[in-house]
Structure 1
Amino acid sequence: MIGKISTGRNFRGCLRYLHEGRLQESEELQLEEMARKQAEVIHYNKCFGTREQVAKQLVEVQGLNPKLLKPVLHASFSFAYADAALLTKQQKVDIAIAMSEEFGFDQNQFIVITHADTVHEHIHILVNRVGYDGKTVNDSNSYKRMAQFCRDMEKRYKLTPVLSPNRFLASGERMAIGKRVDHRKELLKKTLVWAISESGTIETVKIRMQERGYHVHLGRGITFTDKQQVRFNGSQVGYSLADINAQLIRQRRIAQQEKQQQMRLREQTKSEKLTGKKTKGRSI
């Protein structure tokens, strides 16, 4: 079980992402993204309604502490592949409630949303850090607390154990984790090099990578998320979006040059055959 936690500024933006997924280039692609996400709200706490109604309620309570720059707390839990279908919907809700008690936002507004777009089941919790009393949920040491919470939930629900976040491990364990991450990077790089060599456009590269199990997000840059929910920027493996496009352009140019060369060779061969036949006819 892997837990992540972050804070942000915009409730509506976070809600849009949780319901619709990453912003796509067209309405058709956005609908496909939503279909993949299969977002479902499984729990409301002190708020309720449509996405817009919930956003309005969160913003209204946020107004009780207008000086707070980051009122959004977003937590997510990803479960190991081996734990697929192990937890019921209610148990997922129970984990979210347990976290709310552990982190002190059980009396605040929050919603719990499930996604089904990866091989790993995962849930998201969107929290209003501002309570009805105007006080703010403390987010100090949140990463370390999240790591410990995940270990506790693994024991409680007999889930596949996952090593704690790298920064909280002993030096020997950090080295072991580092080697695994490097292996993932090398595999990603090898797969990406193959995908680029087999493609003519960036969209084809995206399709090739998705066929190999990577989720690809294209924006100002390019990112790849593997089946273990580990995410890398293209630049981390030596292939930024600009690098990939430059390589594709070079490949197209080389392919065009080879095509032209082949055409010249065919024309030359054809010409030589015709010339040979005429010379032979005159000698007879």
Structure 2
Amino acid sequence: MIGKIIIGKSFKGCISYCLSPKQGQAERAEVIHYNNCYGDKNELIRQFEELREHNPKLGKPVIHVILSLAPGDKVRPGLKEAIAQECAENLGFADCQYLAISHNDTQHQHIHIIGNRVRYNGKTVSDSNNYRQIVRFCRKMEQKYNLTKVLNPRRYLSSVNQLIPREDQRKNILKRAISRALQEAKDLNSFLSLMKSSGYTVDKGRGIAFIDAQKVRTKGSEIGYSLQNIQETIERLNNRQIISPRQYRGIRI
């Protein structure tokens, strides 16, 4: 599980983004939990804005948490709700206004939690150390619910653990996808199409990078697949499959 926290200004923008359908995806969003709020999009925006007025000096009252499960992980709706509630408790806004929304517009399951940092007494929910807290929370959920384990960002490790080489499953999955695509590709364009069908967006310029379904960007050079290396591999593998006329004359059938 990967967690992302955004501290923002606009409840209208955040709630509208999370609840409004996209073209061709009318059922992309489902509210799985209301806490001290209710109603449709417009009613929710009004309620959040009204409570915001209890602390008008707070410039960024929105806490927006995105919890993305690893590809292949599936949890039932009731468990999504439980995870959202535990997240609100962990980040200190369980007694505030918040709602949890499940999105099904990508290949991996993910949950949006929109919370009001303004408490009913006008005090503010602290955003101190939120990023460390969400990392610890994700590791806790992985263990508790037997989800795919994701590496902590290196900057959140102790100085000793930062020196230990780590097995990065995300990069291993990407390398396997690249290897499969190289075996099938006839040229660079077909390689790019094969990577797209594997769920990756390819950013190609002077170099090449791959963006997975969770929007994590990995440079090809970081995993031994620079653009030059990919092009040379495609050419080598395809040349290996071609038999020249001279070679053909020497083959006995």
Instruction: Give the TM-score normalised by structure 1.
Output: 0.61
Deviations 1:17-65 (A, max 9, x none): 11237xxxxxxxx422x34x71100110000001011001001101111
Following TM superposition, by how much is the alpha carbon of 1:230 offset from its aligned partner in structure 2, in angstroms? Answer: 3.0
Distance 1:114 1:164 in 2: 24
Question: How do 1:108-257 residues align onto structure 2 when only pairs under 5 Å count?
Answer: 108-169=96-157, 170-173=161-164, 180=171, 198=189, 210-214=196-200, 225-227=211-213, 229-232=214-217
Distance 1:215 1:127 in 2: 31
Question: How do 1:89-104 residues align onto structure 2 when only pairs under 5 Å count?
Answer: 89-104=77-92
Which amino acid in the other structure matches residue 9 of structure 1? Answer: K
Structure 1 residues 160 and 212: alpha-carbon distance in aligned structure 2, compared to 1, 3 A threshold: closer
**Shift >6 Å, 4+ stretches:** none
Structure 1 residues 176 and 232: alpha-carbon distance in aligned structure 2, compared to 1, 3 A threshold: same
Which amino acid in the other structure matches residue 214 of structure 1? Answer: Y
* Aligned position for 2:23: 31
Give the structure with higher Rg (CA): 1
Which amino acid in the other structure matches residue 9 of structure 2? Answer: R
* Aligned position for 1:55: 45
Which amino acid in the other structure matches residue 2 of structure 1? Answer: I
Distance 1:65 1:41 in 2: 27
Q: Check whether the contact 2:154–2:162 (CA below 8 A) recurs between aligned residues.
A: no
For structure 1, which runs of at least 5 residues remain unmatched after alignment? Answer: 22-29, 200-204, 217-222, 238-284
Which amino acid in the other structure matches residue 140 of structure 2? Answer: D
Q: Check whether the contact 1:62–1:130 (CA below 8 A) recurs between aligned residues.
A: yes
Distance 1:116 1:76 in 2: 13
Structure 1 residues 225 and 152: alpha-carbon distance in aligned structure 2, compared to 1, 3 A threshold: same
Following TM superposition, by how much is the alpha carbon of 1:198 offset from its aligned partner in structure 2, in angstroms? Answer: 5.0
CA root-mean-square deviation: 3.4
Following TM superposition, by how much is the alpha carbon of 1:212 offset from its aligned partner in structure 2, in angstroms? Answer: 4.7
Which is further off, 137-146 or 11-20?
Answer: 11-20
Structure 1 residues 101 and 212: alpha-carbon distance in aligned structure 2, compared to 1, 3 A threshold: closer
For structure 2, which runs of at least 5 residues remain unmatched after alignment? Answer: 203-208, 221-253
Distance 2:165 2:129 in 1: 19
Q: Check whether the contact 1:11–1:55 (CA below 8 A) recurs between aligned residues.
A: yes
Following TM superposition, by how much is the alpha carbon of 1:126 offset from its aligned partner in structure 2, in angstroms? Answer: 0.4
Q: Check whether the contact 1:47–1:54 (CA below 8 A) recurs between aligned residues.
A: yes
Q: Check whether the contact 1:74–1:126 (CA below 8 A) recurs between aligned residues.
A: yes
Structure 1 residues 159 and 69: alpha-carbon distance in aligned structure 2, compared to 1, 3 A threshold: same
The alignment of Structure 1 onto Structure 2 pairs a total of residues equal to 205
Which amino acid in the other structure matches residue 41 of structure 2? Answer: R
